[in-house]
Structure formats: C-alpha cells, structure tokens
A and B are shown apart, each in its own frame.
Chain A
Amino acid sequence: MSSAAMTVVIGFEGSANKIGIGIIRDGEVLSNPRRTYITPPGQGFMPSDTARHHRAVILTVLKEALEQAGLKPADIDCVAYTKGPGMGAPLVTVALVARTVAQLWGKPLLGVNHCIGHIEMGRLITKANNPTVLYVSGGNTQVIAYSERRYRIFGETIDIAVGNCLDRFARVIKISNDPSPGYNIEQMAKKGSQYVELPYTVKGMDVSFSGILSYIEEAANKMLSSGQCTAEDLCFSLQETVFSMLVEITERAMAHCGSQEVLIVGGVGCNLRLQEMMGVMCQERGAKLFATDERFCIDNGAMIAQAGWEMFRSGQVTELEDSWITQRYRTDEVEVTWRD
C-alpha cells in the first residue's frame, strides 16, 4: 500500500442498546448514524429484545452510513465490528452482518475491543497525547493508562459500572429512559438543593457501586414518601458521591503514572458535572482535561472504525473462524500494535 493511499474503515457497534455504524477515512469521520433502543420508565433493556431492535434497523443504518459518506462498498478497505465485551445476543446480531458484508464485498474483517474503540476515538477527537483514561459507561468503569503495548487497567469497579448504578436508580424513581436515564438524572440533579449522605466506597485503586445502589434503592422510597428530600436531591447526592469516587481513583492513577492529562470516555463521560469535578482536580494538579461530546462519548460505529483503522494499518486482521463474539473481553488482552 502506498503511503499516499487513504484507508477507509467501516465500523459496526451494537454491544448494548445503541446500534451504530460509522465510516472513517484517515481520521475523518465521514458518517456515524446511530439508533437507540429505549425502554419504558422503570425498565432496563434485556438481551433478546435489544438484539431484536438491532436486527430490525441494522441494514437501514448500514445503508445510511454508506449514503451519508457518499461511498460505495468498493471504497471500503476494511470491515471492523465489536468483538466484545457486551451483551451476547446483540453482539451476535451485529457480527453476523459485519461478517456477511465483509465476504460479499471481499474485504478483510477486524474484531475490535469495545473499550479500545472508546479510547481511540477519544484520542483522535481530543488529540490528547498520553492521558490517564477514565472509561465510564453503563457497562464499564475502568481507569486505564497506556504502557508498553497494552492499555493497562489501573483501577476499576469491583462490582457494577457507575452507569449501571445510575440507570438502575433511575428505574427506582421511574425516570424516563429517553434519551438516556443518565441524562435525565443529570438534569434533575441540577435542581437538587439538599445533599443526602450516601455510602462512599473506594478500595485502593478500585471502586464499588453495588453498596451505594442497594442503600439508595431502599432509602429512596422511605425518604421520598416522608418528604425528607426530593428525587432531585437524591439525583444530586448520588452524582456528587459516585463522581467524587471516580475523581479519586483517577487522581490516584495519575499520581502513579506521573500523568498530566485526563481523558474521559464512555456514555457517563457526557455528564457535565463529572467533567466539572474532574476539571477542578486537574486544575489543582496543573493537568489538562479532555472529553468528547455525545456523538462520540456514547457508543457509536465510528469509534469501532477508528480502532479498526489503527489495528488494520498496523497489520492486524481477524480470520472468520476467529471472529466469534465474547461477552467478556478485558481491555488489557489486546496487543496495542499501533503505538510504541
């Protein structure tokens, strides 16, 4: 391949309730359409229903991705898709289409780690040099730093993700899931005026959220019906508590690595209060904070395309027989061949 040739990668993402397909050409996002499966208030999304949702729209979204980019299948160099981690049934649905079009179009296939998709998109958009990464979403909570060809996990949740804690609290107080429960908690939190003390659980480099969730699930009904506080107060207090925990473990990792940059990725990274709190800590340390907007924080196809672009350019390819999806896939399992 000549150095003047451009590399175009299409990426397929559908590991949770978002189905997105994006096309990237040498760092330029040409298209990034996405659909979200939204459940009624009080309900979470189940694997088979989510897979059914993705199944119904995926081919339409794929056509949109090509049309919006103004490209034909022949223009694509590589088909990237999420190998894992995530929910099994939705992952399979998306992988089936990726495998099929890769064969129909005669293009190489690349299985991408979802977490690395977030990291590489964050690096591309923000141009952060070598940041400590806080990856926070409904399914994942990790503090990551790059070292010697691996994205090393410095700290993580020992039980549920911070986004999962927020989403499940939203169900208890029956907040709308449109556009996302986390977004609605954030809006309500802005109207909170009373801080309610909640359990704070940091364990060394790690965090735990299941305790705070069970506490607030039980306390919410009591406190709300007795008029002790409002739902807005609880949203505010929950955010302040869990976000403080995240800032603490991020700072700890920065101190270990001597890092002067923080990059927040993942759906919870859209939260402006989290960005604000992290910003305060960064300012105190003379560090820089990087974050992306909802187009790229929230699961999307272009982030898979971007990670795929890096992997493909450094010579990686996934054979069809090895293209099985996996619900568990650690960020540090991948050899980061595209960085020194």
Chain B
Amino acid sequence: MSTDGETDHKTGKLEFSLDVPFPSSSEASIALRSLSPDREPRRGGISKRLTVTGNTLRWSADEARILRVSVNSFLDHLSLVLETMETFGPPVDSGI
C-alpha cells in the first residue's frame, strides 16, 4: 500500500491518494463495488473517487478539514472488506 498527500496550491485543497494492491483484478473490483455505493455522511467539502487500475484500488479525496475522519472511516471499511474476502474468498468463478 502506498499513500500520497499534497496540497493543490491553486485551489488550496488537500489531496490524499491511497493505492491498495490486490492479488487479482477481480478482487480489486469486488472491493471497489462493495466500498463505493454509500454516500459520504457530510454532503459538502469531501469528494471521494474510487477507481481500479489493474489490481490496484485508488482512492483520492480533496478538502482538508474533515479529511482525517473520512480517511479513518474508509480504512475501517476497507479492512472489513479485506477480512471478509480473506474469510469467505476466493471469489467463485463466475464465468459460464
């Protein structure tokens, strides 16, 4: 897992990105689809983007003030999804 934090000097917003490697692209995709449906509790100020590139799940957000809470929640949720996948995985082959 690698992380990156920096300030966009034009907008003054803080960006945080988190790359999470997965053993396979299907598992990265499962995690993405489990983690993306729920909306952020606070409507303004935080935006979250979850994408999958190959086996890597990328999460980036801007807005400094409540970033820590959002990141914390996300990491808790991610760890639950990972533990669920470890306990009940691997995914069944959905190919016909």
Chain A contact residues, CB within 8 Å of chain B: 55, 58-59, 62-63, 73-74, 88, 92-93, 95-97, 99-101, 103-106, 320-325
Among B38, B41, B81, B92, the one with the most A-chain Cβ atoms within 10 Å of its Cβ is B38
B77 touches A100 (CB 8 A): no
Some 18 contacts from A to B, beta carbons below 8 A apart, are A55-B76, A59-B87, A63-B87, A74-B92, A96-B80, A96-B81, A97-B84, A99-B34, A99-B37, A100-B30, A100-B84, A103-B34, A104-B30, A106-B94, A320-B37, A321-B33, A321-B36, A323-B37
Interface residues on B, range: 20 to 34
Chain A nearest CB, measured from B33 CB (Å): 5
Q: Are A96 and B88 in contact (CB under 8 A)?
A: no
| 8 residue pairs, one from A and one from B, having the closest CB atoms | A99-B34, A324-B37, A100-B84, A103-B30, A100-B34, A106-B92, A320-B33, A106-B94
> Which residues of B have CB within 8 Å of A63?
87
Please give me the residue from chain B that is nearest to A324 by CB atom: B37
Find the B residue at minimum CB distance from A93.
B80
Q: Which applies to chain A's interface (DSSP): helix, strand, loop or mixed? A: helix
A98 to chain B, nearest CB (A): 9
Nearest CB of chain B from residue A59's CB, rounded to whole Å? 5
Residue of B nearest to A99 (CB): B34
B44: chain A residues at CB < 8 Å are: none
In chain B, positions 39-96 with a C-beta closer than 8 Å to chain A are 39, 41, 76-77, 80-81, 83-85, 87-92, 94
